[in-house]
Structure 1
């Protein structure tokens, strides 16, 4: 059972990172501006960093989905979360909280805050927990677990559940947006 829980969280983190990467690709110019707003990199390095960051996010996600080089993928993910948190913290410490976090994807895009640093810390702790329990279940380590583990119905079910959790979150966010839009359009109505 613990293997399934670890696998679920591994897939959830992969979902977060791949959706973030795809969103950044689709809005690349906006992502460049967001990185520039942090004022932690020289202008000349920003385009390179943006491409590198997106590549790493996508690479980590694919590795986590496939179960290839899981330890390396999780360590890269943790490193990225620490870098993001340091950039957010540096800006918050000098009073610059009017910056978009640049997270994108299923976790959205918010103004930077200590809450985001705490959330990232939670993801780091989750990554360390997954790292401590990494085994051959749900990966393609043919020498130790065999192809059966990859095609196991439990693995497929956990993968699908991880995406369902993301979809429920997205649907919930849309309902909240609709509710807020109704309140905006009909400010005097009660019970909405």
Structure 2
């Protein structure tokens, strides 16, 4: 593999990792606002949402997933599962945006967060997500090299520590949210 192709693949991984890390961290900082943002998409009936709290579950599952994907893309650990997860997330986000645009609801914010910002819904975001999906697919079907030795124990330990910290933050946020619902 030529050095140019190697550099392009590392750039794509770094680019995608920054996007997913910044989006996840932004949502981590304001999880209840992100939950309200998910509700604003109106993808499930209100009664169903009220009974099962799907927006709450989605809000508290998406940011650790985005941060985890970003870390995996950056370090090269669990690279293929992370690329598949990123691809699925981009498809789900695109479907949610397309549903709202087809309903004529372009007045709500995309709530993409991070370096992607929070613009009003538009077909441009679908095109952007398609481009990001192409980047994921190129990395999936291209020659994948993490640049790290698999025997290196430091990266998996950092990843494990990050997951534990995110789990503790998630637990704290869930506890606070449920106490808020009880009051």
Smaller-chain TM-score bracket? 0.7 to 0.9
TM-score calculated relative to the size of structure 1 = 0.71
For residue 136 of structure 1, give the secondary structure of its aligned residue in structure 2.
Answer: coil
Structure 2, unaligned runs of 5 or more: 156-183
1:60–1:73 CA contact under 8 A, matched in 2 = yes
Among candidates 21, 24, 28, match of residue 25 of structure 1? 28
Residues of 2 paired with 1:13 and 1:73: CA distance? 11
2:15 to 9, 12, 15: 12
* Count, aligned residues: 144
Instruction: Give 1:136's aligned residue.
Output: 145
> What's the RMSD between the two structures over aligned residues?
1.5
The runs of at least 4 consecutive aligned structure 1 residues that moved more than 2 Å come to 134-137, 139-142
Separation in structure 2 between the aligned mates of residue 132 and residue 139 of structure 1, nearest angstrom:
19
Aligned residue in 1 for 2:68 = 59
Q: CA deviation at 1:73?
A: 0.4
Question: Cα deviations across residues 98-129 of structure 1 (Å, max 9, x unaligned)?
Answer: 11101000111111111001100000011101
Q: Distance in 1 between matches of 2:138 and 2:33?
A: 33
The SS at the match of 1:106 is helix
Distance between the aligned counterparts of 1:35 and 1:74, measured in 2? 23
Deviation at 1:136, TM superposition (A): 2.6
Retained in 1: the 8 A contact 2:77–2:146?
no
Matched, 1:47 2:56: yes
1:46 & 1:67 partners in 2: Cα distance? 31
Q: Are the counterparts in 1 of residues 26 and 113 from structure 2 also a CA contact under 8 Å?
A: yes
How far off is 1:140 after superposition?
3.7
